[in-house]
Amino acid sequence: MTATATAAGTRSKVTDRLRQLPQPVAITALLLIPLAVAQAVSHQPFFAPPLAATAALVAATPAAPAARWSTVVIGHVVSVAAGLVMAVLLGNGTTAALIAAIVAVAVMGGLGRLHAPAVASAAVMGAVGSWHGAAALLAGTVALVIIQQGLVIAQQARTASTVTIQA
């Protein structure tokens, strides 16, 4: 058996198992697995807890305003920025994390783009103040949104191909 055949067989088994899961579970897995692989390879926090919460929210409530791709991106950008600013001004730690979370909620609310999982991004960045971590978290956010949008497009294409015209 060739490596290609083995990989195809493994992919088929994974795909079959994902199809048996409830849709929010399968979508959450599809959103997070690439981030976990990227983290394992790069040793950067692409698969951060705030993104796991984002993936679950997007998968379980895709029509919710907080699940819109723009809200997800704006929420994490605002939150990461709040965390880093507080870490620089106050020194990274609990106080910076607390104030960053409050500032992130206020700014997201003011923008009409409240994405609750992103508040954890503010707290994490305030606590650790890592520029590399911030870059990885934002890259993970963008990757998650791209994957999610790809799933939406695939679902729309599948739906369009099954629509029949009735006379």
Q: What is the pLDDT of residues 15-63, one digit of tens each?
A: 676 566 678 888 898 899 988 888 888 887 777 899 999 999 999 999 9
**pLDDT of the residue at 119:** 97
Encoded tokens for 32: 């997070």
Q: Which of 129, 72, 74 is nearest to 99 (CA)?
A: 129
Between helix 69-90 and helix 49-60 the angle, nearest 10°, is 160
Question: Would you say residue 1 has pLDDT above 80?
Answer: no
Query: What tokens were used for 124?
Result: 């994490």
Mean pLDDT of the chain: 87
pLDDT in tens, 52-70: 999 999 999 999 999 999 9
Check residue 26 and give its pLDDT.
85
Residue 167 pLDDT more than 50?
A: no
Task: Kindly state the DSSP code that residue 112 receives in the 8-state scheme.
Answer: T
Checking if the pLDDT of 104 tops 90, the result is: yes
Q: Give the pair of three-digit tokens for residue 154.
A: 């695939």
Phi-psi region of 161 (alpha: psi -120 to 50; beta: other; left: phi over 0): alpha
72 neighbors 118 (Cβ within 8 angstroms)? yes
The residue to which tokens 């979370």 are assigned: 101
Q: What is the pLDDT, as a whole number, of residue 8?
A: 63
Cα(80)–Cα(125) distance, integer angstroms:
6
